[in-house]
Chains A and B, each alone.
Chain A
Amino acid sequence: MNLVSWILGAPALGMTLLLFVPRTQEAWVRRIAVAATTVSLALALILVGSYDRAAGGYQFVTEIPWVPQVGIAFHVGADGISVAMLLLHALCAWTGVLISYSIKERVKEYYLFYLTLITGVFGVFASLDLFFFYLFYEMAVIPMYPLIGIWGSDASNAYSKEYATMKLTLYLTSGAVLALLGLLVLYGGSGISTFSLPALEHHLALHPLPPELQRWIFPFLLIGFGVIAPLWPFHSWSPIGHAAAPSAVSMLHAGVLMKLGSYAIIRIAISLLPEGAAAWLPLVATVCIMNIIYGGLVAMAQQDAKFIIGYSSSSHMGYVLLGLSTLNIIGLNGAVYLMVAHGWMTALAFALIGFIYDQAHTRMLPDWGGLAKQLPFIATAVSFMAMASAGVPGFGNFVAELLIFVGAWEKYRWQTVAAVFGVVITATYLLRFVRSGFFGETLSRWDELRDATTPFQRLPFVALIVALLILGCWPNGLLPIIDTGSRALLQRIGASTMLAGGVLP
């Protein structure tokens, strides 16, 4: 056992402990959940500090043969990209657990499902074995059903929470099984009967699959994982899912779960099927413009705060997809950096909206009026969130989006132009968001609302804002680590495409 396995082990242990706590002991349930995620966060921070940048590659690896008959091993570890993802998730999970103090009903069940979700996501980011990757992926999806169904609120009059959660679960599972088919064909095609990711990477770099086979498998993985990314037109589960979920779940859902998709595309699809990637990614670069522009325009038309952020998430994920489609170092780094920055930004947004919704019981912006008077701290935090989301310099999102535009300019000229235009759309709806919700007419019926006053209440918001500022002002902290991961990946697939007889454009 080492650092990475403990990051994953802490919430799993917490989950197991929870089973033995009586349901009436709510305080203990919460304490265990907080303790488990705090340990994970602390370990993730240590991981960032102790990851050897010069050496690169997979570090803190644990490998235990699990089902050797078919080549499955419990194999976890982290390279530069997964270090960033683990940190992203650790912070979101920790703040999510703190925000969950507002959950008052069926507390034990809630934390059980929530910790299962957290463990699953850690598992995906740490897995170096395709079988366990899939196992954790599906393990992260299923708890969403009860989490949204029990503790959520109806997305709108048209979409009940039962509808939203069923749609989300079925969409994500459909994507998962589609990806599974691709993975199994890949497993069979490689001919080395192992699910080990490093072994497959190594083997396929020297003996790439035939290009036709790669081009055939790639869409399975692309669409399968793209559903959760969410790649247009498979995104329709996402905004209503976000809107229906309780705030802590939306935080993880938009902040981290969506990143599982783009992470899997980078880690598995691009890394193992470079020829397939070269053939299909130009299409992705075009389709993701639909994400950016269409998602942004729809967000503009919304009145419901959660729907705005929900659509804005699928719009922002378009930038991530554009970044990874570039297949060059700048774009790929930008994509991963944006995954982190956007994750924290969205988590912040949903936490803030949830804070208000829990008291006001409405998410309609015009109903909020001028909350800045009544909730000065929350309004300030919202302004920070809006600036980060709109890509104002000083926040991580600016750095990431800039990298993506620079990376994409060479290869996808008009897509980049469209994407830059998307930033204007983002700024428009976010400014509207802030103005009509917080700086409009002050409504006396909200005088009773209580601001976040105690340090404990403020902690999650402050932590996320500080994290975003660090990302923006000191990119040299995390970016070099990500760089080791993406550089190694690009070198490997560059070599293997030459072997396969193709040329990376």
Chain B
Amino acid sequence: MNWPILAVELALAALALIVLALDLVWSREQQERLGAVTTVGLLLILALWWHQRGASGTGFYGLAVLDRFAWYMKGLILGASLLVVTMTREFLRRLPGPRGELYLLLVLAATGMSLLTATADLTLLFVSLELLTFSLYVMTAYVRTDARSIEAGLKYLILGAVASASVLYGIAMLYSQTGHTRYDELTLHLMTHPPTPAVLLGMLLILSGLGFKIAMVPFHLWVPDVYEGAPTPVAAFLAVGSKTAGFAALLRLLLTTLQPLHAQWTWVLAALSGATMLYGNLAALPQKNIKRLLGYSSIGHVGYLLMGLSSASVLGTAGVLFYLLAYLLMTGAAFLVVVAVSQRIGSDRIEDYAGLSQRSPFLAAAMFVALMSLAGVPPLAGFFGKFLLILSAVQGQLFWLAAIGAVNVVISLYYYLLVIKQIYLRPAREDTELTVGLPYRFVLYACLAGILGVGIFQRPFLALATTAIQSWF
């Protein structure tokens, strides 16, 4: 069986069971501590994850694999989960009612995400995808009293079900043509047999289903409404966790199993990358709600990530991994600020951020750094990520795509600066100070330090990203 291959996932599942059990036996007051339990549990799993560095192997009859790539992506997912737990604890303070489910679902979703990075078989791909998605359906609709949350959950459910069906159909098509579901057997088959139309259709269907997960144009339609309606920590989890897991599955599938069909998918991805970048960033321009803005901008970032994938080179793929790390830190920081602000002023409208720099210099500075990093301003992490991805496009003879990427830097800078304008240039309408608790502050500091640290000392992180994917080339 080779259990250690899935040690992180098994630990996550165990944590989920512990949270469930405690939720059942604890009284309402004691349940307040569930957040702390989840945090500690995740930290322990993080230690386990660190202990596994460099480990590799396959197990579970070839269903799952642990390699440096899976290890890297699991780290990002655990990091994202920790950030989201912090936000959830803050978020639940103002929300009456039971506590346990949200933590339980969060850990279950994290299990699904983590499993997705380790998947080496199409059936496990589907199962982990569903585990992740089902948890997120419920999380999205969690605030039962808020019509927007219910609406968001419903939208996500319907569109998500279509995407799942598409993945399942694609798997069936591949299986019917090749007789395999395991990645390594599929690769062998595809290398020796020219692709039939059904194989290509199957590939496209799986791509579309995963495209829904990562919010790639044209499968992005759910994003703005779901981000706006979902509880903010859940939106953050959709942005960083779900996206990272989706990319993990996509990268492994495309660069190992479907590598023989590489000529067929690169141009599709390149075209979709350009469209995704332009759509996400242009649609973000008129937004008045910070969550919608971050939703659209997250589509734009997916476009950048796809740019690295479509060049299908070591540099581009390492760039994707580096960018996912940067994206985790900067989007995490931005959402941390959004949760803190909306808990205190009760609004997500950008104009209500006016004068934030006077009401809370710390939150304002954090948002400034996070947004500037998202826009790709040096010396922050997002800058070097964008630099690598654009460089990989130029090296991959995709100059037009690199040019679209460069134009989008300017477009995105514009709408991020519109938020900065409210925060720094406009006077505050109220002058009550907004104070943030110490643990929350600490997590936010860690994100900011990460943004600066990864942005200035890029070398070890790029080396980590490169070793993660080197064996595929």
Interface residues of A (CB under 8 A from B): 23, 66-70, 109, 131, 134-136, 138-139, 142, 145-146, 149-150, 162, 166, 169-170, 173-174, 177-178, 180-181, 184-185, 187-188
Given A149-B425, A188-B395: A69 and B462 within 8 A (CB)? yes
Q: Is the CB of A69 within 8 A of B377?
A: no
Q: Is the CB of A142 within 8 A of B372?
A: yes
Q: Which residues of A contact B315 (CB under 8 A)?
A: 70
With the chains together, A149 CA to B426 CA distance in Å? 9
Q: Which residues of B contact A169 (CB under 8 A)?
A: 413, 417
For B391, give the chain A residue with the smallest CB separation.
A184
B403 within 8 A of A: yes
Q: Which residues of B contact A139 (CB under 8 A)?
A: 377-379
23 intermolecular pairs with C-beta atoms under 8 Å apart? A67-B458, A69-B466, A109-B361, A134-B378, A138-B383, A139-B377, A142-B377, A146-B424, A146-B425, A149-B421, A149-B424, A149-B425, A166-B414, A170-B414, A177-B406, A177-B407, A180-B390, A181-B394, A181-B399, A181-B403, A181-B406, A184-B394, A187-B391
A8 to chain B, nearest CB (A): 13
Q: 9 closest A-B pairs (Cβ-Cβ)?
A: A177-B406, A135-B378, A149-B425, A184-B394, A174-B410, A67-B459, A142-B377, A138-B378, A177-B409
For B394, give the chain A residue with the smallest CB separation.
A184
For A23, give the chain B residue with the smallest CB separation.
B361
Q: A66-B459, A139-B379, A184-B394 are in contact. List 6 more A-B contacts (CB 8 A).
A: A69-B466, A70-B388, A149-B421, A166-B417, A181-B390, A181-B406
B308 to chain A, nearest CB (A): 13
Name A173's contact: one of B409, B424, B458 (CB within 8 Å): B409
With the chains together, A166 CA to B378 CA distance in Å? 18
B428 to chain A, nearest CB (A): 13
With the chains together, A187 CA to B399 CA distance in Å? 13
Given A70-B391, A170-B414, A185-B394: A180 and B406 within 8 A (CB)? yes
Q: Which residues of B contact A67 (CB under 8 A)?
A: 458-459, 462
With the chains together, A146 CA to B395 CA distance in Å? 35
Q: Which residues of B contact A180 (CB under 8 A)?
A: 387, 390, 406
With the chains together, A162 CA to B427 CA distance in Å? 13
Q: Is the CB of A145 within 8 A of B394?
A: no
Q: Is the CB of A188 within 8 A of B394?
A: yes
Q: Which residues of A contact B407 (CB under 8 A)?
A: 177
Which of B357, B378, B383 has the most CB atoms of chain A within a 10 A radius of its CB?
B378
Q: Which residues of B contact A178 (CB under 8 A)?
A: 406
Contact pattern, B 432-463, Cβ under 8 Å of A = 1, otherwise 0: 00000000000000000000000000110011
Name B413's contact: one of A68, A136, A170 (CB within 8 Å): A170
B285 to chain A, nearest CB (A): 12
A234 to chain B, nearest CB (A): 14
B218 to chain A, nearest CB (A): 26
With the chains together, A170 CA to B462 CA distance in Å? 29
B73 within 8 A of A: no
Interface residues of B (CB under 8 A from A): 315, 357, 361, 372, 377-379, 383, 387-388, 390-391, 394-395, 399, 402-403, 406-407, 409-410, 413-414, 417, 420-421, 424-425, 458-459, 462-463, 466
Q: Which residues of B contact A138 (CB under 8 A)?
A: 377-378, 383
With the chains together, A406 CA to B315 CA distance in Å? 49
Q: Is the CB of B403 within 8 A of A68?
A: no
B87 to chain A, nearest CB (A): 25
With the chains together, A187 CA to B393 CA distance in Å? 13
Q: Which residues of B contact A131 (CB under 8 A)?
A: 387
A148 to chain B, nearest CB (A): 9
Q: Is the CB of B402 within 8 A of A184?
A: yes
With the chains together, A173 CA to B386 CA distance in Å? 14
Q: Is the CB of B394 within 8 A of A150?
A: no
With the chains together, A23 CA to B361 CA distance in Å? 10
Q: Which residues of A contact B395 (CB under 8 A)?
A: 188
Q: Is the CB of B459 within 8 A of A173?
A: no
With the chains together, A68 CA to B372 CA distance in Å? 26
B399 to chain A, nearest CB (A): 7
Q: Is the CB of A150 within 8 A of B424?
A: yes
With the chains together, A138 CA to B406 CA distance in Å? 13
B77 to chain A, nearest CB (A): 25
Q: Which residues of B contact A142 (CB under 8 A)?
A: 372, 377
Q: Which residues of B contact A69 (CB under 8 A)?
A: 459, 462-463, 466
With the chains together, A225 CA to B446 CA distance in Å? 36
Which of A23, A138, A145, A185 has the most CB atoms of chain B within a 10 A radius of its CB?
A145
Q: Which residues of B contact A134 (CB under 8 A)?
A: 378
B435 to chain A, nearest CB (A): 16
For B455, give the chain A residue with the smallest CB separation.
A135
With the chains together, A267 CA to B357 CA distance in Å? 39
Q: Which residues of B contact A70 (CB under 8 A)?
A: 315, 388, 391, 462
Q: Which residues of B contact A149 (CB under 8 A)?
A: 421, 424-425
Q: Which residues of B contact A146 (CB under 8 A)?
A: 420, 424-425
With the chains together, A23 CA to B365 CA distance in Å? 13
Q: Which residues of A contact B409 (CB under 8 A)?
A: 173, 177
Name B402's contact: one of A23, A135, A136, A181 (CB within 8 Å): A181
For A136, give the chain B residue with the smallest CB separation.
B378
Which of B406, B458, B459, B466 has the most CB atoms of chain A within a 10 A radius of its CB?
B406
With the chains together, A169 CA to B421 CA distance in Å? 12
Name A162's contact: one of B377, B402, B421, B458 (CB within 8 Å): B421
Q: Is the CB of A150 within 8 A of B391?
A: no
With the chains together, A146 CA to B361 CA distance in Å? 14
With the chains together, A150 CA to B417 CA distance in Å? 13
A223 to chain B, nearest CB (A): 13
Q: Which residues of A contact B421 (CB under 8 A)?
A: 149, 162, 166
Q: Which residues of A contact B391 (CB under 8 A)?
A: 70, 184, 187
Q: Which residues of B contact A66 (CB under 8 A)?
A: 458-459
B116 to chain A, nearest CB (A): 28
Q: Which residues of A contact B402 (CB under 8 A)?
A: 181, 184
Q: Which residues of B contact A173 (CB under 8 A)?
A: 409-410, 413
With the chains together, A448 CA to B466 CA distance in Å? 67
With the chains together, A316 CA to B421 CA distance in Å? 32
Q: Which residues of B contact A185 (CB under 8 A)?
A: 394, 399
With the chains together, A166 CA to B417 CA distance in Å? 8
With the chains together, A69 CA to B394 CA distance in Å? 17
With the chains together, A136 CA to B458 CA distance in Å? 16
B131 to chain A, nearest CB (A): 36
Q: Which residues of B contact A162 (CB under 8 A)?
A: 421, 425
Q: Which residues of A contact B462 (CB under 8 A)?
A: 67, 69-70
With the chains together, A136 CA to B377 CA distance in Å? 10
Q: Which residues of B contact A145 (CB under 8 A)?
A: 417, 420
For A141, give the chain B residue with the smallest CB separation.
B377
Which of A173, A178, A185 has the most CB atoms of chain B within a 10 A radius of its CB?
A173
